[in-house]
Amino acid sequence: MRKSSIPSAVLLALSLAAAVGGFFVRRAQLATELLADGSLAAGSRLHIVLTIVAAVFALAAAALLFPLEKRRCWRSFFRSSPALQLPLMIAAVLLAVGNVMLLQQRAEPVEAFTQSPALANTLSALVAPLGILSGVCFAVAGFFCLSQKKPSPALYMLACLYPIVRLVSCFQAWNTDPSIHDYCYQLLAAICTMLTFLQLGGFCFDKGRRRITLFWALCGIVFNGFSLADALNGGEAATPLVTVSLLLILLTNAVMLLFPDASAPAEPQPVAGQPNSEESNEEEETT
């Protein structure tokens, strides 16, 4: 018997509500409570609200994900539905366009707390080209799904280079900031995005981990929603476009994982005691 989709619908609604609510609270915090040096104004309260929203969402997501049916195969989720794959491909194009815009901007040298400034500047220069490559990879993966063909795992491996290099490059700039309030949600968004991209490739090997992938994807939606307020505060269009595109990529993949294909063949049931059995991987699937 197929399990109820109610927890999936609740998870999706909670993640969207937390992302939208957190965006407006973060906007208010940036406008009224966060000073120019990154410190909080006297009597600030909104950082407590954001912390509570993030913590409550993470706990609720973990609890609601636990009863979801375990599925590992690509065919169970990444179906050839235009309603799912076209938004993914549009988001991928936006990611590529946003990084083309960043590539056209002249990057300033990175003053990072590192023993190798040359390496830091090299990583910074690689971010936009890898972002374009990541967008192309997701667009091609969406096209393969529309054609009812399994995407190559190499597409996801190449796509995940972008969030890894982006996280390392950005953190080298962030760690010179004396106030974590300036970048904490951008850091969390980058980590969740990176971990989601890394997990997605496993489904092409029919070794996907549905619940942990969903946990990182849903948290990434929430924290990218928070971070969009910071991106809009920068006064340029490229960074908000990249943030929105990453949020949409996470959202479309989360929807596919939350609502599996009802017509997909049943996955083979593992034999208890074998090394690759579902029972032996219980700890890997926990959230």
Encode the chain (287 residues) as per-residue pLDDT tens digits: 345 577 889 999 999 999 999 999 999 998 898 887 777 888 889 999 999 999 999 999 999 998 888 877 777 777 778 888 899 999 999 999 999 999 888 655 444 445 567 777 888 889 999 999 999 999 999 999 888 888 888 999 999 999 999 998 888 877 776 678 888 999 999 999 999 999 998 888 888 898 999 999 999 999 999 999 999 987 788 999 999 999 999 999 999 999 887 665 555 555 444 544 443 444 444 44
Our CA dihedral for 207, 198, 232, 23, rounded to 10 degrees, sits at: 50
Nearest to 161 by CA among 188, 201, 120, 121: 201
- Burial-class residue 131 by CB neighbours within 10 Å (0-12, 13-18, 19+): buried
Residues 6+ apart with CB under 8 A from 184: none
Confidence (pLDDT) at 106: 62
Longest dimension (CA), the chain: 60
Q: Which pair of tokens denotes residue 102?
A: 């960043």
Confidence (pLDDT) at 114: 53
Confidence (pLDDT) at 268: 57
